[in-house]
Amino acid sequence: MAALIIRQIPARQDNYIYLAHEPETGLTAVVDPADAAPALEAAQSEGWKISHILNTHHHGDHTGGNLEIKQATGCTIVGPRADHDRIPGIDIDVGDGDTYALGKAVARVFDVPGHTRGHIAFWFGDSKALFCGDTLFIMGCGRTFEGTAAQMWNSLSKLKALPPETQVYCAHEYTQSNARFAVTVEPDNKDLLARVEKVNAMRSAGKPTVPDALGEEFKTNPFLRADLPALQQAVGSPGDPVATFATIRLRKDKF
Active-site residue list:
57, 59, 61-62, 115, 134, 172
**What's the closest the beta carbon of residue 231 comes to Fe ion, in angstroms?**
26
Residues forming contacts to Fe ion in the complex (CB under 5 A) are 61, 134
Per CB under 5 A, the list member of 58, 59, 160, 195 interacting with Zn ion is: 59
Question: Exposed (0-12), middle (13-18) or buried (19+): which is 22, by Cβ within 10 Å?
Answer: buried
Angstrom distance (rounded) from CA 124 to CA 101: 9
Does position 111 interact with Zn ion (CB under 5 A)? The reply is no
195 binds, among Fe ion, Zn ion, none (CB under 5 to 8 A by kind): none
Does position 58 interact with Zn ion (CB under 5 A)? The reply is no
Per CB under 5 A, the list member of 32, 35, 134, 186 interacting with Zn ion is: 134
**What's the closest the beta carbon of residue 81 comes to Zn ion, in angstroms?**
18
Does position 173 interact with Zn ion (CB under 5 A)? The reply is no
**What's the closest the beta carbon of residue 218 comes to Zn ion, in angstroms?**
23
Residue 131: name the closest of 105, 150, 153 by CA: 105
DSSP 131-186: EEETTEETTEE---SSS-HHHHHHHHHHHHTS-TT-EEEESB--HHHHHHHHHHH-
